[in-house]
Amino acid sequence: MSTAPVFNSNPFHALYSRSLGITRFWSLMGIITLVKGVYVYYGPDLFTEEAQYWLWSRHLDWAYYSKPPLIAYVNSLSSGLFGISAPVVRLNAVLCGLGISYFVFRLGVEHFRSHRVAVLGVVLLNVSPFFVTATLFFTTDSLLMLAWAGALRYFLRYVDTGQPGDGWRTAAFVVFGMLAKPTMVLFGFVVLAGSGRNFALISRRLLAFGIPVLVGLLPSLIWNYQHDWVTFRHIFTLAGGSGSSLLHRNALGQLLEFVGGQLAYGSIFIVVGLLLARPWKLPTVDHARLLPLWLAPALILAGFAVLSVHKRVEVNWPSATLVAWPLVVSYLLHLRYRRWSETPRVAWPVGLSVATLLLILQPGWLDAVAGRPVLPVKADPLYRLAGWRQIGQTVDDFVKDLPPGHFAIVSDSYHTASELAFYVGGHPDTYCLPNANRRMNQFDFWPAPPASQRQNIVYVSEDPLSPEARAQLGPVLRQEVWPVYYRNVRVRTMYLYHARGYRPKAVKKPVMY
């Protein structure tokens, strides 16, 4: 094994590597973007969070109950330019993926001065489940990851060059990230890890970091000032602030769930790459350059692991922090296998990861080969996406006998109400019934159906009509039951009711955050 440093001083070799690396990067991006485009065009229906964020775009505001405003404005822009459809919504995610890959590629080139490290890092990134899901399904994680990758690139370049322009670009991406999701505040750990041991320097940079954080937070502060600070109450509740005990009764189970989820979602194949590289046997590792790329994600993951023994932590919460780890692994693999010709030695984990992604994103092909469900339907995350387009068509048929424009579509769930707003013909306003026993959501800040529509209510739910809903809807005139099948298994039953005499104040509004 060669012990030459990663930085190659031969100008002819460097020029060849640069040309080869750029060509391979854009060729790779072309193939990946094409495959993703085909998937989003022919892929599953929007899942409920995607539909909810799209619905926000029809009610543009300073912010929203659970998130900052950026995703609503991006959806509004794309829908205005290309129309309303599921592929258009997900086009935003695909473009985010292209941008993130570009920033990771440039970071690899600039930070390690190696196009091979950069290209291999992009490959590892694009086969990691956390990245693939965020760049196929458009959520706040898609935008947050883009902001994180941009801020990471320019911050580390600022650390190297000290150029004020790179500092301003870092600040701009921090603002962008704060407008996408409050988790961007955790980028402070990158600032900490990249500032060495100089306490004065750390203090100055963290103080400077706080300014764009506050700027990006300003729209949410304005909205929350007008709405009793409910977003902060919501985040406090999500973080377990309302719990009475520091140690959850199922603390070990939640911790194991978090660790297992990160291995699956962050890609266990990244761990395989580390084992292939055997960094403990590499004498030429530039630890100073690696430190800000691996330490910040490690600290953030450790923090969420500690939180998981108190409160269940969703697997995607730390996902944006992981964009640097594929680059760390690619650098170590580059030191182990230096030439382009040696790259196939590390290709099998990539192939295995791609096969796993195919199983997750399109399990039907394996069912057809095996003649039976290989991945259990209830373990398939896509089953929750099944049937919403057909439900929208069913509601269209259900309301044909009602006076046009003189009915309201309501549900007991914001998930269902959001999907109906997207998939029912004409994209009508939908409503979510207030209920003191459910958690607050964005519908609670929008008005109830107008008086002209309250005599004809179409109520849609995944459950039979509850006493609380019946108290609000009045007499039921008609009802239907509609089953939803996915991979030949019944996964959901939808109940449709035509009721008359909606009374929006019959049940108290929710107070849980």
pLDDT of residue 3: 40
Mean pLDDT, rounded, for 250-256: 91
The residue written with tokens 């695909």 in the block is: 94
pLDDT digits (tens, 9 = 90+) for 68-88: 999 999 999 999 999 999 999
Judge contact between 347 and 276, C-beta under 8 A. no
Q: pTM value? A: 0.92
Task: Indicate the SS3 state at residue 281.
Answer: helix
- Region of 386 please: left (phi>0), alpha (psi -120 to 50) or beta: beta
CA 394 to chain centre: 30
pLDDT of residue 111: 94
pLDDT of residue 17: 60
pLDDT band at 402 (very low <50, low <70, confident <90, very high): confident
Judge contact between 265 and 316, C-beta under 8 A. yes
> d(Cα 53, Cα 47) in Å, to the nearest integer?
10
pLDDT digits (tens, 9 = 90+) for 336-371: 887 666 667 767 777 777 877 877 788 877 777 777
pLDDT of residue 499: 92
pLDDT band at 16 (very low <50, low <70, confident <90, very high): very low
Q: What is the mean pLDDT of the chain?
A: 89
The residue written with tokens 């520091």 in the block is: 246
pLDDT of residue 2: 38
- pLDDT of 495 strictly over 90: yes
pLDDT of residue 270: 80
Beta bridge partners of 499: 457, 476
> d(Cα 397, Cα 7) in Å, to the nearest integer?
66
The total number of residues shown for the chain amounts to 513
pLDDT of residue 343: 67
pLDDT of residue 430: 95
- pLDDT of 446 strictly over 70: yes
pLDDT of residue 118: 94
- Angle between the 140-161 and 86-112 helix axes, to the nearest 10 degrees? 20
- pLDDT of 456 strictly over 70: yes
Percentage of the chain beyond pLDDT 70 is: 94
pLDDT digits (tens, 9 = 90+) for 114-140: 888 999 999 999 999 999 999 999 999
Q: Cα 220–221–222 angle (5° rounding)?
A: 90
DSSP 441-493: -GGGGSPPPPGGGTTSEEEEESSPPPHHHHHHH-SEEEEEEEEEEETTEEEEE
The residue written with tokens 């989003």 in the block is: 40
Q: Which residue has the higher pLDDT, 256 or 18?
A: 256
pLDDT digits (tens, 9 = 90+) for 189-233: 999 999 888 889 999 999 999 999 999 999 999 999 999 999 999
- pLDDT of 50 strictly over 80: yes
Judge contact between 104 and 322, C-beta under 8 A. no
- pLDDT of 419 strictly over 90: yes
pLDDT of residue 327: 94
- Full strand arrangement of the beta sheet holding 430-432: 430-432, 408-411, 457-461, 489-499, 476-486
pLDDT band at 13 (very low <50, low <70, confident <90, very high): very low
Closest CA to 49 of 319, 322, 313, 384: 384
Both tokens of residue 289?
A: 């350059």
- pLDDT of 173 strictly over 90: yes
pLDDT of residue 505: 72
- pLDDT of 502 strictly over 50: yes
Mean pLDDT, rounded, for 279-284: 84
pLDDT of residue 237: 85
- pLDDT of 14 strictly over 60: no
pLDDT of residue 426: 92
Mean pLDDT, rounded, for 473-485: 91
Q: Cα 126–422–142 angle (5° rounding)?
A: 25
H-state helical runs in 278-324 = 287-308
3-class secondary structure per residue, 384-446: HHCCHHHHHHHHHHHCCCCCCCCCEEEECCHHHHHHHHHHCCCCCCEEECCCCCCECCHHHHC
Q: How far is CA 219 from CA 60, 62, 213, 285, 353, in A?
A: 12, 5, 11, 44, 40
3-class secondary structure per residue, 107-164: HHHHHHCCHHHHHHHHHHHHCCHHHHHHCCCCCHHHHHHHHHHHHHHHHHHHHHHCCH
Percentage of the chain beyond pLDDT 90 is: 61
Mean pLDDT, rounded, for 146-154: 98
Greatest mean pLDDT among 45-54, 302-311, 468-477, 481-490: 45-54
What separation, in Å, do the N-terminal and C-terminal C-alpha atoms of the chain show? 57
The residue written with tokens 């912010």 in the block is: 63
Domain ranges of the chain: 11-362, 384-499
pLDDT digits (tens, 9 = 90+) for 27-42: 999 999 999 999 999 9
pLDDT of residue 1: 35
295, burial (CB in 10 Å: exposed 0-12, middle 13-18, buried 19+): middle
Q: Which residue has the higher pLDDT, 381 or 51?
A: 51
Torsion sign (Cα): 167, 168, 171, 176: negative
